[in-house]
Amino acid sequence: MGRSRDAKTAIDFKRAADILKGNDRGGYSVPTDGLYPFQWSWDSAITALGWMTIDEHRAWQEAETMFSGQWDNGMVPHILFHKDAESYFPGPDVWGSEKTIPSSAISQPPVWATAIRIMYEQTSDRSLADRKLRELLPKLIAYHEWWYRERDPGNSGLVCSYHPWESGMDNSPAWDKPLSVVPEVEWTYQRRDLGHVDAEQRPHKPEYDRYLYLVDFYKRHSFNSQYIYEHCPYKVVDIGIVSILQRAGDDLLALCRIAGHDEGVRGLEEALAHTKAAVGYLWSSERRCFLNHDLISGHAIDEVTTATVLPLFGGLADTEQASTMVDLIDSWLNATKVGLSSTHPSSPRYESQRYWRGPVWLHINWMIALGAEDYGYPQLARRLQDSTRDCVATSGFWEYFDADTGEGCGGDNFTWTAAVALYWLATSQQAART
Ligand code: DGY
């Protein structure tokens, strides 16, 4: 299903805008037609940045619609099932969360406050942005509080994840070991993803069996946070989530200060400081990056992936760690045709085109480039941006790109790929932090 590279060298930004418009379902965007027919949280946040370049009102709507599905406890679900769709499995009946807007029962990397800060700072409609920020701030704070309260009840400083889907990097080899102890679901089901995408580019059945066991587990235990924390067979400190939450927390603090919104600020400051103090525990001098940690086995997960260098984005590395990771990324980029591959190519589990086991995702490049800029490595940021531009210019707007060939993989006409192109590649403007 992947499309081979042709001689195109320029990005078709008109087409990128058309993809956003074509995937608009009225106030929210689907990642792509058929394969993903609902609203996904981190897709939506990245998509809002793309909308900013064509229709600011629509960009804020993307956030409003997502937060309209926020749970009473503050969680923003990873999927909102706004309308029925037969083309995706597992749907709302399998999740069984029975909310007004049917949803999944897990979250996704919390990139929203970062996106909203960028939208607020780059707006050309100040009064619209002020109004929207006032409405969204309490919801964002409740979301961040949810992460610290429900996903780190022991107050370790490091929040945890209960499902590979929560990482957004679903099939990363980093989750192989922690997932291997999860039982397989006993009922039969029919996957729908394989009707849209080549099986070579998607997870295997044993992984799906375990993904679904976990979905069932939350439902069987009535989404009881305390019970799930104590008994969930999959519990991982995901350095990608930790890093994204940290940056988003910094951005949220900045937004609170701008808006003179004091509520929740003290708790947020303490949580950010606590994470910063705790994260050193995940550093691996041998691997030259941070590592994910399996809370069930008690072991570090020895797999170098794009998540393990995201502490650059989160501002969680000290200067020496940052320089070490920059060297690692430089050599990593040399090892594949396009980069940054989602798993380091030296890993025995690397597969250049299988979902999160090797392919390149554009929004991850953007995040790492922002982190590199912040730490004073503009050349690395430029290399990442150039590689990102090359993927889109030569292959189009695919979900992800084969790291060894640059061919497009997964879903075509993909919303966040178009959004990253519009927001990051159409201008040389870096959203570097002030
Ligand atoms: C899927 O179904 O592949 C999604 O990534 C889950 O969120």
Rounded CA-CA distance 247/144 in Å is 11
* Ligand 1 atom nearest 108 alpha carbon: 7
What's residue 2's pLDDT?
Answer: 47
pLDDT tens profile 269-294: 999 999 999 999 999 999 999 999 99
pTM: 0.96
Asked if residue 304 has pLDDT above 90, the reply is yes
Rg of the chain over Cα atoms, rounded to whole angstroms, equals 20
Instruction: For strands 292-294 and 39-40, give the pairing.
Output: unpaired
Compute the C-alpha angle 401/82/125, nearest 5°.
75
Asked if residue 83 has pLDDT above 90, the reply is yes
* Ligand 1 atom nearest 40 alpha carbon: 7
Helix boundaries (H) for 12-74: 13-22, 41-52, 56-67
Pair 343, 304: CB distance under 8 Å: yes
Q: Which residues line ligand 1 (CB under 6 A)?
A: 78, 165, 170, 193
From the candidates 207, 399, 404, 412, give the one annotated as an active-site residue.
399
Mean pLDDT within 297-307 = 98
What's residue 309's pLDDT?
Answer: 98
Closest by CA to 402, choosing from 356, 371, 333, 369, is: 356
Mean pLDDT within 237-246 = 98
Pair 60, 119: CB distance under 8 Å: yes
What's residue 7's pLDDT?
Answer: 42
54 Cα to the center of ligand 1, angstroms: 28
Q: Closest Cα to atom 6, ligand 1: which residue?
A: 165
Closest by CA to 252, choosing from 147, 177, 176, 331, is: 147
What's residue 3's pLDDT?
Answer: 45
pLDDT tens profile 183-208: 999 999 999 999 999 999 899 999 99
Closest by CA to 159, choosing from 307, 349, 16, 292, is: 292
**DSSP symbols for 95-127:** H----SS-B-SS-----HHHHHHHHHHT-S-HH
Confidence of residue 432 (pLDDT cuts 50, 70, 90): very low
Whole-number percent of the chain with pLDDT over 70: 96
Q: How many residues does the chain have?
A: 434
pLDDT tens profile 122-159: 999 999 999 999 999 999 999 999 999 999 999 999 99
230 catalytic per annotation: no
Mean pLDDT within 166-188 = 97
pLDDT tens profile 362-383: 999 999 999 999 999 999 999 9
From the candidates 18, 121, 170, 386, give the one annotated as an active-site residue.
170
Q: Closest Cα to atom 7, ligand 1: which residue?
A: 165
Confidence of residue 428 (pLDDT cuts 50, 70, 90): low
Best residue for ligand 1 mutational test, from 170, 190, 201 (most atoms within 8 Å of Cβ): 170
Asked if residue 361 has pLDDT above 50, the reply is yes
Q: Which has the higher per-residue pLDDT, 84 or 431? A: 84
134 Cα to the center of ligand 1, angstroms: 32
Q: Is the peptide bond before 102 cis (omega within 30 degrees of 0)?
A: no
Rounded CA-CA distance 180/297 in Å is 11
What's residue 414's pLDDT?
Answer: 98
170 Cα to the center of ligand 1, angstroms: 7
198 Cα to the center of ligand 1, angstroms: 15
The two three-digit tokens of residue 384, written as one number: 């990442």
Task: Report the run of H or E that residue 409 belongs to, with start and end.
Answer: strand 408-409
* Ligand 1 atom nearest 202 alpha carbon: 3
Q: Which has the higher per-residue pLDDT, 430 or 174? A: 174
Cα separations in angstroms, 65 against 35, 38, 85, 210, 385:
20, 12, 18, 30, 30
399 catalytic per annotation: yes
Average pLDDT, the chain: 95
177 Cα to the center of ligand 1, angstroms: 19
Amino acid 209 reads D
Mean pLDDT within 241-252 = 98
**What backbone phi and psi angles, to 5 degrees, belong to 178?**
-60, -35
What's residue 270's pLDDT?
Answer: 97
* Ligand 1 atom nearest 90 alpha carbon: 2
56 Cα to the center of ligand 1, angstroms: 28
